[in-house]
Structure 1
């Protein structure tokens, strides 16, 4: 299985918040899926920092980022067979810190799929700080990493350097995902696999608007062309509350395979406390199942 060292741990959740340990940090952050009561109130009293405000609007860390004793932490992610990469974690104004722990199971799946000899060229759209990109690269794939935020692509490249992957076959692209795919279709370029983690709403580097309900299916149609309707694997994840596993599976089926194809596997991404309490943290659909 995948392990993060220093250890990640979901300590508690409830009342719309989650309490997590990332190595030396204990963080209190918003979590829309955290229903019910917080079960260990004492743990919430002594934290490294709290983020107040929605994750999708302006908020702030308390204490302020400049007052943190450690402004960043190197976070090794160990894959099976001794393969590893590193991610630099640091508090961002959005309330994120550079990694989504709920994606660990997906990284394991990507590593398994990308290690297959025939899955050589991987397109990672909305690549953020590069967890999926580095997973595929460590497994031996050639990767094109696309994100609209220049700062996130810079962080992903820094993570690649930390991981000894500065010379790996990774293309780093700062561009709107839809525009990039449209241009790739016109260029006649193709890929063996596609990874997508689209936001609910967003903007490209030139102000291009993105709405997942309006734009996801057309983007998947472009991915169908880019994989010539024969992808080796596809992974689609999202954190949009109104889109669940069944809807994601339907998007993937309609966009890439049609109704007669083998249905993708879908489900919910969870974080879990040591006591077994689960926190729903997004959904996934992937093919093959």
Structure 2
């Protein structure tokens, strides 16, 4: 497991009964998590005295119950990176803290490359990986289909003092964008992707990770440079094993470029129990 264990502004304080108790800076939130199938050891005052509690609805979705006043958004830091946090209607806050394990890895890879690195971040959300890569000195192309998420990512970059870095923000369907980059002959030294389990393209095209991911990864080979640095796939799709990502990268990127692959779970430490909460999987190829 790749554990993001060097946070100062974020903490999973406790877990149980399908929920996690989290500290985001000075704000305490209680949110559901399907991986937490064990009971709460001691539902003490910390569980009750939260700023916000997200309740799932039996009919799908859910809503926040705000117990204390909090800002519409606030800032947390990871190393030299800064991010805006905002509780959304879909229980998310705009950041996945477990990804810090990937940010640290890619910052080290980029800083140690000894050459200019061009990064493509696909399904890029609010730009955690974009900010990390830019802070390490890479040029980045950030692509996401949601205009609001792209704007949030721009604000995160500026918040981190990196607004002058060579980052292009593009609101577009990632598949169409990759096809156009193929035709343009543009190439990247590193590709990051965090694809959804399900989705639809602008023309109604159906995306299902189990059937769509492999051909998409294969298509990305044609936009890799002659000497790529890394290729990273994240997945939150339940039922997909890290070995699947290992195999997929072996059959595509490693087959063409050699190098090595690592795969596993992403996790976060739980303060009270000393255990780790699994938070998704990753597959990494590196030169």
| Superposed pair shares fold, TM > 0.5 | yes
Cross-structure match for 1:90: 86
Listed as ranges, the matches of 1:213-224 within 5 Å are: 213-224=210-221
- Contact 1:175 1:205 survives alignment (8 Å): no
Aligned-partner Cα distance in 1 for 2:257–2:145: 34
For residues 257 and 129 of structure 1, the distance between their equivalents in structure 2, rounded to whole angstroms, comes to 29
Q: In the alignment, is residue 286 of structure 1 matched against residue 287 of structure 2?
A: no
Separation in structure 1 between the aligned mates of residue 231 and residue 216 of structure 2, nearest angstrom? 13
Tell me the CA shift for residue 53 of structure 1.
2.1
What is the Cα deviation at residue 163 of structure 1? 1.3
Alpha-carbon displacement from aligned partner over 1:164-187 (angstroms, at most 9, x marks no partner) = 211210010111111111110011
Select the residue among 128, 142, 153 that pairs with 1:145.
142
The equivalent residue for 2:274 is 276
RMSD of Structure 2 on Structure 1 (CA): 2.2
Q: Quote the Cα distance in structure 1 between the aligned partners of 2:153 and 2:202.
A: 17
Q: Provide the rounded CA distance (Å) in 1 between the counterparts of 2:109 and 2:172.
A: 26
Is the partner of 1:264 in helix, strand or coil?
strand
Structure-2 residue corresponding to 1:61: 64
Is residue 102 from structure 1 mapped to residue 98 from structure 2 by the alignment?
A: yes
Separation (CA, whole Å) in 1 of partners of 2:13 and 2:137: 35
Q: CA deviation at 1:255?
A: 3.1
1:44-94 deviation per Cα after TM superposition (whole angstroms, max 9, x unaligned): 22211111227xx52211129xx742211111221xxxxx12111011111
The alignment of Structure 1 onto Structure 2 pairs a total of residues equal to 279
Mapped to 1, the partners of 2:195 and 2:232 lie a distance apart of: 11
* Whole-Å separation in 2 of the counterparts to 1:157 and 1:244: 33
The whole-number CA distance in structure 2 between the counterparts of 1:63 and 1:239 is 27
TM-score with structure 2 length normalisation?
0.90
Q: Which residue of 2 aligns with 1:36?
A: 38
Deviation at 1:118, TM superposition (A): 3.1
- Deviation sequence 1:228-267 (CA, Å, 0-9, x none): 5642111111111111211111122223223994551011
